[in-house]
Amino acid sequence: MSSFDKPLFRRAFVGAVLISALGLGSCQVQPLYGKAGITGELASVGISEPTNRVEQAVRNQMIFLLSGGAGEPSNPVYQLTLRVSSSNVNYLSQISSNLPQPGRVTLSASYTLTRDGKLIKQGAQRMDAQLDYTSQQFAQVRAIRDAEDRAARELAEVLKLDIASALSK
């Protein structure tokens, strides 16, 4: 006779299963996106007009991410005021050869999410992208722009998660 066949062990096992089922039944896990999520609310966020190229890149990606590719809302319920600035750093200050030198582009964003003039969320985020500086002027300008575009896409993803988190509360 195995230990599972004993009535006391069987009752304890059934009791443990029932208690764990009750404990798990009290959890309220909801999807962030989906039918019960906030996809419709995300699509109703209007974003302020950009003032520079990197802000335009972040704004375009945000519009795509928030609306699921449908474009800007005609009558936004929420208003996102977004300001983005860019800075770049060459780790080695002098380029003495044709070898690429390491560098970094940093995008800094500050944002305010409001509804009918009432503050919902305010915050700031940063995103870095690595690049190689070269002695060729055009290649260097292009490398900085590509790094800014990569950082803009990643920054838009992070900002979308911040907004989704604020709207889900």
User: pLDDT tens for residues 32-86?
Assistant: 555 445 778 899 999 999 999 999 999 999 999 998 888 888 899 999 999 999 9
Does 24 reside within a domain?
no
Mean pLDDT of the chain: 85
Sheet-wide strand order for 118-133? 45-47, 78-90, 101-115, 118-133
Which stretch, 16-20, 73-77, 81-85, 91-95, has highest mean pLDDT? 81-85
Cite the DSSP H helix spans in the chain. 7-25, 39-42, 53-67, 137-167
Residue 73 lies in a domain: yes
CATH of the domain at 49: 3.30.160.150
Q: Give how many domains the chain has, as a whole number.
A: 1
CA distance 32 to 96: 51
Cα distance between residue 111 and residue 84, in whole Å = 9
Residues 5-22, mean pLDDT to the nearest whole number: 72
Q: Which residue has the higher pLDDT, 30 or 139?
A: 139
Higher pLDDT, 159 or 134: 159
In a domain, 25, yes or no: no
- Domain for residue 3, yes or no? no
Query: pLDDT confidence of 28, banded at 50, 70, 90?
Result: low
Task: Establish if 27 belongs to a structural domain.
Answer: no
On whether residue 130 sits in a domain, the answer given is yes
107-131: average pLDDT: 95
Rounded to 10 deg, the angle between the 53-67 and 137-167 helix axes is: 40
Average pLDDT over residues 93-100: 66
Q: Which domain holds residue 60?
A: 32-167
pLDDT band for 133, please (50, 70, 90 cuts): confident
pLDDT for res 148: 96
CA torsion angle 71 39 35 25 (round to 10):
170
Share of the chain above pLDDT 90, in %: 53
Whether 111 is covered by a domain: the verdict is yes
> In this structure, are residues 154 and 127 in contact, taking their beta carbons and an 8 Å threshold?
yes
State the pLDDT at residue 36.
46
* 46 belongs to a structural domain: yes
CA separation for the pair 37, 167 (Å, rounded) = 10
